[in-house]
């Protein structure tokens, strides 16, 4: 039986939340500077013509890099790192985020508000974030951490087959190769251990943060998650979007949201709300609950 309410979290749900260590994860527009500081040998090694593109728009910058790329794992001639090296360090970056004790983070507080509301458990969840803070909050409250991940996550590891080495995989676009594998959630310590195995190109099942969200690892898994996401949107009476920006190039997500007959509750900026509300055959109201998750947390749980 499908849940009548479906909640999708984006980067704006984690950003600025208390109770996250060492700090809360950045928004997409601030991701490149953070990666460059943390990993100068990979994310800080781009040529001067690529840096402004990443600084202006991360997704377009990564797309520009991939258009230049000659193969799956070989470095560019100017010394820029390979995609698999970039993605391994991106996984390390997001693995660093954890919930502090005390349930002061916004995810835990929101879940507790839902549990206090009538039919609070009749809610399904999805996240576009690579960190696993939502699952941590669920586990901390004794809930089964069942979350749809249309873009994957830093703790989803490909488990089928042996070691994947440089050059293996199936081409899926300019400079990109896909490695088909089953995917399973693993502890952070295990993911770090596998990332440090220098002889393989495997990294967690995370979509490339660029238009279309292609993936090099676990493509079948992500396509299945995206199909289930669309089904959830179609089945739900209320769809809640928290900290998610409309992005038409992600055709695996947004057409289903724009066309849903469900009531849509939105938490995000006025500008993004106008884009969403003005769109595309909507037959029911799109309600703007507020611009920041922290400010509307209790109101949102009641509105749902």
* Tens digit of each residue's pLDDT (9 = 90 or more) over 227-248: 999 999 999 999 999 999 999 9
Q: How much is the pLDDT for 70?
A: 52
| Percent of the chain residues past pLDDT 70, beyond the cut | 85
Q: What is the residue whose two structure tokens read 């749900």? A: 13
Whether residues 171 and 91 share a domain: the answer is yes
Whether residues 297 and 237 share a domain: the answer is yes
Whether residues 134 and 279 share a domain: the answer is yes
pTM of the model: 0.90
Whether residues 176 and 62 share a domain: the answer is yes
Q: How much is the pLDDT for 119?
A: 72
The more confidently predicted of residues 188 and 298 is 188
* Residue that terminates a domain, selected from 166, 189, 213: 213
Instruction: Give the three-class secondary structure for 241.
Output: strand
* Residue that terminates a domain, selected from 169, 195, 213: 213
Whether residues 15 and 50 share a domain: the answer is no
Whether residues 87 and 122 share a domain: the answer is no
Whether residues 144 and 226 share a domain: the answer is yes
- Can you list the positions of beta strands (E) in 160-253? 170-173, 176-178, 183-185, 238-242
The more confidently predicted of residues 161 and 250 is 250
* Residue that terminates a domain, selected from 165, 189, 213: 213
Q: How much is the pLDDT for 182?
A: 82
Instruction: Give the three-class secondary structure for 115.
Output: helix
Six-digit token pair at 224? 């299945």
Average pLDDT in the 244-255 region? 94
H or E element at residue 52: helix 51-56
Whether residues 227 and 275 share a domain: the answer is yes
CA dihedral 257, 225, 186, 241 (to 10 degrees): 10
Contacts of residue 17, Cβ cutoff 8 Å, sequence gap at least 6? 24, 105, 106, 107, 293, 294
CA dihedral 108, 109, 111, 114 (to 10 degrees): 170
Whether residues 263 and 146 share a domain: the answer is yes
- Can you list the positions of beta strands (E) in the chain? 5-9, 20-21, 98-99, 123-127, 156-158, 170-173, 176-178, 183-185, 238-242, 263-267, 286-290
The count of domains in the chain is 2
Instruction: Give the three-class secondary structure for 177.
Output: strand
Whether residues 298 and 231 share a domain: the answer is yes
Which residue range(s) make up the domain with 255? Answer: 5-20+99-152+222-303
Q: pLDDT confidence of 84, banded at 50, 70, 90? A: confident
**Residue 173 clears pLDDT 60, i.e. is over it:** no
Whether residues 109 and 238 share a domain: the answer is yes
d(CA 138, CA 145): 5
Nearest C-alpha neighbor of 107 from the set 127, 122, 130: 127
Going by their DSSP bridges, the two strands 123-127 and 286-290 should be labelled as unpaired
Residue 231, domain CATH: 3.40.50.1220
Whether residues 48 and 81 share a domain: the answer is yes
Q: What is the residue whose two structure tokens read 């696993």? A: 132
d(CA 102, CA 59): 35
């Amino acid at each position: 039986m499908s849940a009548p309410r479906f909640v999708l979290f984006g980067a704006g749900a984690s950003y600025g939340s208390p109770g996250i260590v060492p700090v809360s994860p950045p928004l997409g527009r601030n991701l490149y500077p953070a990666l460059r500081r943390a990993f100068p040998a990979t994310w800080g090694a781009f040529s001067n013509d690529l840096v402004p593109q990443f600084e202006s728009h991360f997704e377009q910058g990564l797309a520009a890099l991939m258009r230049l790329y000659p193969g799956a794992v070989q470095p560019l001639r100017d010394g820029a790192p390979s995609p698999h090296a970039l993605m391994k360090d991106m996984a390390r970056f997001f693995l660093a985020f954890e919930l502090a004790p005390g349930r002061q983070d916004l995810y835990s507080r929101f879940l507790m508000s839902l549990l206090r509301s009538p039919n609070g458990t009749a809610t399904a969840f999805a996240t576009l974030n690579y960190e696993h803070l939502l699952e941590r909050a669920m586990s901390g409250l004794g809930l089964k951490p069942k979350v749809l991940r249309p873009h994957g996550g830093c703790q989803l590891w490909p488990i089928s087959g042996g070691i994947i080495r440089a050059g293996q995989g199936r081409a899926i676009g300019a400079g990109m190769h896909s490695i088909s594998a089953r995917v399973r959630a693993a502890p952070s310590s295990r993911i770090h251990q596998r990332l440090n195995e220098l002889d393989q190109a495997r990294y967690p099942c995370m979509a490339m943060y660029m238009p279309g969200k292609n993936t090099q690892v676990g493509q079948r898994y992500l396509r299945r998650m995206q199909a289930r996401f669309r089904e959830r949107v179609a089945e739900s009476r209320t769809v809640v979007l928290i900290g998610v920006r409309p992005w038409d190039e992600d055709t695996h997500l947004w057409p289903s949201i724009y066309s849903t007959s469900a009531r849509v509750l939105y938490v995000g900026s006025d500008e993004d709300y106008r884009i969403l509300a003005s769109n595309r055959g909507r037959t029911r109201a799109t309600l703007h609950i507020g611009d920041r998750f922290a400010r509307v947390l209790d109101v949102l749980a009641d509105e749902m």
